[in-house]
Structures are given as C-alpha cells and as structure tokens.
C-alpha cells in the first residue's frame, strides 16, 4: 500500500473515515483544530455528516445521539475541551453507546498552555467522568500508530458497546510522518455494521421502557443501576487480554525506562544511545494505558534490574502510579519529568539513566 505524508491530526481523521465513521461533531481548540477542519472537507465526499457544534458540550451530545442510532461516530478535543465533554461521555458509557474520541493533550491544569503535555493521564485512565466508568485507552507514539489505533478503535467500541479513547498529545497531532492508510470500508460493510446494532439502536423501536433507557440511563431503577454497574465491571475485567506493551531490550537491562506516547518514543532513542555506550538500558512502553500492561513488569529480571525510570511529560507524575502497581516494590522507581508544554528531551533521559547507574 502506498505511503502518504500526513499530519497526525489529519491522519487520525482519515483513519476514522476509512473505518466507517460517518458522523463527527466537534469544536475548535488548539492543538487539535485540524481534526474538525479535515472532517469538514472529507465528510461530504463519503455522504457523512460534519457538525461544528456551538460548544464542546453540544458536540459530544450530538455524537451521543448519532451513535445511539448505530452510526459510527467520533469527536475530538484537547484537555480542557475533553473536560467539558466528560458528562456526555459518561452518558455514552452508561447507555452502552459505542463511540470514539481523541484527545490531543496540552499543558495544564485548567486552560494551561497550548503546547503538548501528558497531564491528562489520570483523566483518561481513572476519572474520565462521573460514576467510575472505564474505557479502553490507546496511546500512540507515532502517526502510523495513531492511524492504526483509530481504525481499530471503532471495532473495539462496537464489540464492547463502550466509548474508546485515543490519548495522543500535541506532538503527535502536529508532526508529519509518512503513513500507510488502511483500506476504506465499503458502503455495504458500513450498512452491515449499522444493521448489526438494530437490536438496541434507536432505529424505530416503540418507546417502551427498555429502549428509552438506552437514551436516558437515569430512568433506571436502583436495582437495575446496580446490575448495569456489575455488567460494566465484568466488561472492564475482560480487557486484561487486550493489554498491550512494547518490551524493548529488557532481557538483560540494568535500568528499564517505563513510558508511553511521545515520551516513550524519545526514551527509545535514548535506549539506543545508551546501548551504544555500553549501558544496559531497556524500555517498557504502554501501548494501551487502560487496560494497563502490568504483566510486562512481571517479566522483568529483577536480579539484574537496578531501577525503573518513569519518563513522562507530567508534574506531578501520573503514569508512575500504574508503574508502581506493576513493579510491586521489586526495585526502586525514579522519575524523569517535565510538564506545562515543555517537551521531554533525550538528553534529560540520558542524564537520568546515568545518574541511576552512578548511584
């Protein structure tokens, strides 16, 4: 398949279109503005619908409505914009409505800066909205991964009838790289996917209690609400099999870097430099940050590993909390951090590893 040179935001949008997404609603915010801009041009070409909502709140609720009808639907935003969408995402999770959204994260807290950061990790993996719901969360480190993850995300959303998040950042969104785009879903495939949702989607059912509940989860009784939560818990537990990690040169490593997303990409280049210098460094990169790949940390040879170095663009550190759960106090954990729009440097990672080795 031919490779094309694309910006991360636009590549994600094209991957969604090729996956059969035919409804997008969004609102401008840096650094994800090119996503709605691309959909605005592209959707009319595939008989899809693009809407620029009057706000993030309006946009997510439009997605809620379109996805409730069985249409593959998506939205995107950046950090504070995702916070505004959180109630609508919670409703989609409660109603078991499949949808996909992307967060091209920026610095925080609050409005923060428009530069890239990884300060939305807790929001993405621990508290995306009220009620304790969870989602599968993918963390790309290249534009190609962002394409592949977005394309597959719609399948996971349909499989689980649950929202799926692509947790990227401003670097992934604004950088340009060559990518291979997946095949376009045919009109027949898209129609079949929508028809398969006919047992629950709003496609002409009488407004009986059961189907009204999908649109208004708050109508459930207390007993039914607990049943819904128990069903959701079973779903979340089933995701352990879907946890993914890249384990790079960890077999004999004396220092292992734990990271995700763009920070992991930078850290991987540091591992290559360190190996060339004779330092036995390795990398565990979380590809899914929920479910978290805890088992990758069980495969570490702790007789050789002197320390784990958590590398992330967040202060205070957030990703490190899941790293601690995976390590289980089997070796020390150090951190290499930046935040607020400062991008992790390879030099900082190299210095942190060398400090560990000297210690």
Taking only the tens place, the pLDDT of each residue in 80-96 is 999 999 999 999 998 89
Residues 182 and 125 in one domain: yes
Q: How confident is the model at residue 280 (pLDDT cuts 50, 70, 90)?
A: very high
Q: If we measure between CA atoms, which residue out of 308, 3, 47, 1 comes closest to residue 144?
A: 3
Residues 86 and 172 in one domain: yes
For residue 322, give the CATH number of its domain.
3.40.50.920
Question: Is the pLDDT reported for residue 353 higher than 80?
Answer: yes
Residues 223 and 125 in one domain: yes
For residue 45, give the CATH number of its domain.
3.40.50.970
Question: Is the pLDDT reported for residue 232 higher than 70?
Answer: yes
Residues 124 and 138 in one domain: yes
Helix (H) or strand (E) holding 179: strand 176-180
From the number of C-beta atoms within 10 Å of its C-beta (0-12, 13-18, 19+), residue 140 rates as buried
Q: Which of 241, 259, 274 is the last residue of a domain?
A: 241
Task: Please give the average per-residue pLDDT across 292-299, as a whole number.
Answer: 98
Residues 83 and 224 in one domain: yes
Going through 193-303 in order, the beta strands assigned E by DSSP cover: 245-248, 255-260, 281-286, 288-290
Name the token pair of 271.
């591992």
Residues 78 and 226 in one domain: yes
Name the token pair of 240.
């352990």
Based on C-alpha coordinates, what's the Rg of the chain?
A: 21
Residues 169 and 261 in one domain: no
Dump pLDDT digits (tens) for 301-345: 999 999 999 999 999 999 999 999 999 999 999 999 999 889 999
Name the token pair of 317.
């550190």
Q: What is the mean pLDDT of the chain?
A: 94
Using CA atoms in the order 138, 139, 145, 151, what is the torsion angle rounded to 10 degrees?
A: 30
Residues 267 and 343 in one domain: yes
From the number of C-beta atoms within 10 Å of its C-beta (0-12, 13-18, 19+), residue 359 rates as exposed
Name the token pair of 353.
């590893």
Residues 200 and 73 in one domain: yes
Contact 68, 74 (CB under 8 A): no
Q: Which of 221, 241, 261 is the last residue of a domain?
A: 241
| Spacing of C-alpha 303 from chain mean position | 33
Helix (H) or strand (E) holding 308: strand 307-312
Q: What domain range is 119 assigned to?
A: 3-241
Residues 100 and 154 in one domain: yes
Question: What pTM was computed for the model?
Answer: 0.95
Residues 352 and 272 in one domain: yes
Residues 237 and 265 in one domain: no
Q: Which of 217, 241, 265 is the last residue of a domain?
A: 241
Tell me how many domains the chain contains: 2
């Amino acid at each position: 398949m031919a490779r094309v040179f694309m910006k991360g935001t636009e590549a994600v949008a094209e991957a969604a279109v090729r996956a059969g997404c035919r409804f997008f609603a969004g609102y401008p915010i840096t650094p994800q503005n090119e996503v709605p801009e691309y959909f605005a041009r592209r959707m009319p070409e595939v008989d899809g619908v693009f809407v620029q909502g009057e706000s993030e709140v309006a946009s997510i609720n439009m997605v809620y409505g379109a996805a409730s009808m069985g249409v593959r639907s998506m939205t995107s935003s950046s950090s504070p914009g995702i916070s505004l969408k959180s109630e609508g995402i919670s409703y989609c999770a409660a109603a078991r409505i499949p949808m996909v959204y992307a967060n091209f994260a920026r610095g925080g807290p609050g409005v923060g800066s428009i530069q890239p950061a990884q300060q939305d990790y807790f929001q993405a993996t621990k508290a995306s909205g009220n009620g304790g719901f969870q989602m599968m969360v993918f963390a790309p480190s290249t534009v190609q991964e962002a394409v592949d993850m977005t394309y597959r995300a719609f399948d996971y959303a349909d499989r689980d009838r649950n929202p799926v998040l692509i947790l990227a950042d401003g670097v992934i969104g604004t950088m340009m790289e060559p990518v291979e785009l997946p095949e376009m879903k045919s009109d027949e495939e898209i129609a079949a996917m929508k028809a398969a949702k006919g047992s629950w989607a709003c496609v002409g059912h009488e407004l009986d209690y059961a189907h009204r509940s999908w649109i208004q989860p708050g109508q459930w009784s207390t007993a039914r609400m607990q049943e819904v939560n128990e069903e959701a818990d079973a779903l979340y537990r089933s995701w352990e099999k879907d946890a993914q990690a890249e384990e790079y040169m960890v077999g004999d490593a004396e220092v292992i870097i734990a990271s995700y997303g763009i920070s992991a990409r930078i850290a991987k280049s540091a591992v290559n430099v360190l190996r060339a210098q004779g330092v036995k460094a390795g990398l565990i990169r979380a590809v899914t940050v929920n479910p978290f790949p805890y088992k990758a940390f069980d495969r570490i040879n702790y007789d050789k590993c002197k320390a784990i170095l958590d590398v992330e663009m967040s202060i205070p550190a957030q990703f490190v909390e899941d790293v601690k759960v995976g390590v289980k106090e089997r070796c020390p954990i150090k951190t290499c951090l930046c935040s607020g729009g400062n991008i992790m440097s390879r030099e900082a990672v190299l210095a942190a590893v060398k400090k560990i080795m000297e210690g």
